Amino acid sequence: MNIHEYQGKEILNSFGVRIQRGIVAHNATEAVNAAKELTEQTGTGWHVIKAQVHAGGRGKGGGVKLAKNLKEVEEIAGDIIGMNLVTPQTSAEGKKVHQVLVAEDVYYPGDSETSEIYMSVLLNRATGRNMIMYSTEGGVDIESVAEKTPHLIFNEEIDPTVGLLPFQARRIAFNLGLSGTAFKEMVKFVTALYTAFEKSDSSLFEINPVLKTSDDKILAVDAKVTLDDNALFRHKDYAEMRDIREENPTEVEAKEVGLNYVDLDGNVGCMVNGAGLAMATMDLIKQAGGEPANFLDVGGTADAKRVEEAFRIILKDEKVEAILVNIFGGIVRCDRVAQGIVDAYKNLGDKINVPIIVRLQGTNADIAKELIDNSGLKIHSAVEFQEAADKVQEVLS
Amino acid sequence: MSVLVNKNSKIIVQGFTGSEGTFHAEQMIEYGTNVVGGVTPGKGGQKHLDRPVFNTVADAVKETGADVSLIFVPPAFAADAIMEAADAGIKVIITITEGIPVADMVKASNYIKNKDTRLVGPNCPGVITPGEAKVGIMPGFVFKKGNVGIVSKSGTLTYEAADQVVKQGLGITTAIGIGGDPIIGTTTKEAVELLMNDDDTEIIVMIGEIGGQLEADAAQWVKENGNRKPVIGFIAGETAPAGRTMGHAGAIVGGSEDTAQAKKKILKENGIHVVDSPAEIGKKVAEVLKG
């Protein structure tokens, strides 16, 4: 589950990770009050107004701006809240901004130069262990650093039996070229950061940048935190951080009825049992000349109710010109799935206005085909996988 | 021959008396699988499906000599069940459970590393050696005995592949569902290696998907070992968008290296027969076997 920057920072802070402090505001007036309060708390003169949406590259789209006085805070917050923020990671329409984080300015001048560091914590799938990935090249797109100067990216892998060891934390601080107070601060920072990662059951922390301030503090200026969905059962407080306004409404609805659905841009909807077969079906749709409109795994129990829900969800997408149902009946018998489809079709009646191709394979596939062929409904049936693809091609042309 | 499970395997089910455990244990017994008992903490001493129930895996091993365990324990407790099985000396631990927290699997996979055991899964359909042992949730009738080994991250796509192979008049030695999670016990490479070393397996079907490097690692291993047997490869998810999880927790394109296109390229470079269409897996197997 993705959460907002301010929520990620709250989690980090709760484990002792130093952060750029800030207060959330939902309108310009709240932003001004937040700025005043923040000045009282931190002594900051300037403020950074940051759009809170689930997308990276917010600065590039004009979603992060510096305000040098309260009037600017009011203006900038007013401009950003309500805008459709377009970043390299959003669609062309962008994402509507509902709230901003009014944050302290941490780039103030002082005795030493500020420097920006990149740091992330994530699972190394190849070894089954967590690792800290870091670089002296913070504040920029890490993919381009990886491409142009891969020697500037370091990894520190953590043994789950003992956790992050002090010498590893020191190695990170040394590799980042830090000394004196900043060195000690970094050791503290990275130790707290890893504790936070483990204790919060996160699957990704990306802190870009981590800032060394001009007075040698180390703090998280940004925080991209992704929580492990499978572990939310033991973090009820984090589960409440979900912001469904950031999600695709159809996907939210599908989730509520227990369907695994991902919205895509194509013209052929699909309903499949099993994630691997669903992806393969999407690929076959493309090879048949269409474009998949969605990923949808109905799971092991493809009964009439679930099939009907799945049809409803797919039909919400107006771009859909045809629907391919691909079920491999194993333990679930195909004839029962077929009955489910026929019942669902009858219940939905006129709502189904696109051709439907049903391919049922496995237990009782032949009986299922007969059932569908004799139903009098406008359903194209198939048994073999290729046959289904051919029918898709046929109805599209 | 076969790999991982056969007619001599002594199998226990962890989460035996739960609804999933009961249903699938029944199906396995009906198939002829040698299920010798099960484990449900607190229900030790009872009988279930005519077989003894034990409180601990250690008790089950002691009383039945079990060497294979199939896990249906709910996600919150599944990693613990894996470690308990490893501790009790189970040789092959097959975990069906979907939705285990990643942090739990980091612990469990580290714990079993130095034990004499092999984990298959989690989030997998299990392992089947047709005619001998069905240890999982797959429909047994789809799999006929033969000389084709199957390795796959996905459940229904495995059934699909097996069905296509059987319709070509061929059959399967062992089909291994390795699972679709980010951390799994037996990797694609390890499963391919098992089948490569199995005398009865003449050809291997390797089904992968977007996310991670497992298929690339396997392909490189196949080439380094002289492409001893032909391998047919399919990678699902060519049309999947980057950054989105496609059902399986591990099926997500993070960078350019874990796209279907990149994986297929590496497979081809390493002498794997790649099929682009999931409808042509069986046909390709028959074609390559005929030479």
SS3 A387: helix
Cα-Cα-Cα-Cα dihedral sign, residues B165, B170, B171, B173: negative
Q: What is the CATH number of domain A249-396?
A: 3.40.50.261
A240 Cβ partners below 8 Å, 6+ apart? none
Q: Along chain B (291 residues), what's the average pLDDT of each consecutive run of 10 residues?
A: 93 96 96 98 97 98 98 97 98 97 97 96 97 95 96 94 96 97 96 98 97 95 97 96 88 87 96 96 96 80
Would the CB atoms of A276 and B110 count as touching at under 8 Å? no
Q: How far is A115 from chain B (nearest CA, A)?
A: 27
Q: What is the pLDDT of residue A166?
A: 98
For residues A388 and A326, the answer to whether their CB atoms sit within 8 Å is yes
What's the predicted TM-score (pTM) here?
0.94
Q: pLDDT value at position B16?
A: 97
Q: Which residues of B239-249 are buried (b: 16+ CB within 10 A; e: fewer)?
A: bbbeeebbbbb
Ramachandran region, residue B35 (left: φ > 0; alpha: ψ -120 to 50; beta: rest): beta
With beta carbons less than 8 A apart as the criterion, state whether B69 and B95 touch. Answer: no
CB spacing of A275 vs B154 below 8 angstroms? yes
Whether residue A230 and residue B212 make contact (CB cut-off 8 A), yes or no, is no
The pair of three-digit structure tokens given for residue A318, joined into one six-digit string: 């107006």
Residue in chain B nearest A387 by alpha carbon: B279
> Tokens representing B254?
């993070």
A386: distance to nearest CA of chain B, Å? 5
Tell me, which fold does domain A21-105 have in CATH?
Answer: Dna Ligase; domain 1 (3.30.1490)
How far lies B72's CA from each of A343, B76, B91, B122, in Å?
32, 11, 17, 10
Burial of B141 (0-12, 13-18, 19+ CB in 10 A): middle
CB A363 within 8 A of CB A333: yes
Query: Active site includes B273?
Result: no
Q: Does domain A1-20+109-247 have CATH number 3.30.470.20?
A: yes
Catalytic machinery residues of A: 118, 206
> Average pLDDT by consecutive 10-residue portion of chain A (397 residues)?
97 98 98 98 95 94 96 98 93 94 96 96 94 95 88 96 97 98 98 98 97 98 97 97 95 92 96 94 96 91 82 94 91 83 86 91 87 88 90 91
A280 contacts B137? CB cut-off 8 A: no
Nearest CA in chain B to A285: B239
| pLDDT at site A334 | 86
Chain B residues whose CB is inside 8 A of the A389 CB are 277, 279
B234 neighbourhood in chain A, CB within 8 Å: 280
DSSP B182-204: SS-SS-HHHHHHHHHT-TT--EE
CB contact under 8 A, B207 and A278: no
Cα separation, B111 vs B27, whole angstroms: 31
Please choose, from the candidates A214, A235, A213, A217, the residue with its C-alpha nearest in 3D space to the C-alpha of residue A225: A235
Taking the CA atoms of residue B185, residue B190, residue B191 and residue B196 in that order, the dihedral angle to the nearest 10 degrees is -170
Q: Report how far residue A132's alpha carbon sits from residue A130's, in angstroms, rounded to the nearest whole number.
A: 7
Enter the tokens of residue A144: 């381009």
Domain residue ranges in chain A: 1-20+109-247, 21-105, 249-396
Q: Which residues of B touch A143 (CB under 8 A)?
A: 255
Contacts of residue B82, defined as CB under 8 A and 6 or more positions apart, other chains included, come to B71, B93, B95, B108, B112, B119, B122
Distance of alpha carbon B221 from the chain centroid: 19
**Facing residues of B68 across strands?**
B11, B92
